[in-house]
């Protein structure tokens, strides 16, 4: 992917394809960042592109048993 495309890939309605609306990566980026995560992209023209998604870990507590009286 060219550097020019990389700058725009998370913009709404940006697409390099003949079909599609250009909303997929925009929506994914918004969901991840709204949940405290990040998306990074490494691209090497002619070789491939890697997306790395990092989300914060949350602690899930087990439900507690009600106390018997």
pLDDT band at 58 (very low <50, low <70, confident <90, very high): confident
pLDDT given at position 50: 96
Query: In degrees, to the nearest 5, what angle opens at C-alpha 51 toward C-alphas 17 and 55?
Result: 130
Whether 67 shows a pLDDT value over 90: the answer reads no
CA 63, CA 5: separation in Å to the nearest integer? 47
Mean pLDDT across the chain, nearest whole number? 91
Mean pLDDT of 18-31: 94
9 exposure class (CB count in 10 Å sphere: 0-12, 13-18, 19+): buried
Rounded mean pLDDT, 10-38: 94
Start-to-end CA distance of the chain, whole Å, equals 66
Give the pLDDT of residue 69.
66
| CA distance linking residue 40 with residue 52, whole number of Å | 5
């Amino acid at each position: 992917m060219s550097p020019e495309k990389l700058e725009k890939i998370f913009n709404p309605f940006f697409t390099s394809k003949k079909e599609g609306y250009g909303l997929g990566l925009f929506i994914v980026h918004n969901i991840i960042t709204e949940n405290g995560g990040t998306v990074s992209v490494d691209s090497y023209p002619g070789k491939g592109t890697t997306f790395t998604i990092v989300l914060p870990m949350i602690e899930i507590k087990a439900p507690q048993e009600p106390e018997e009286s």
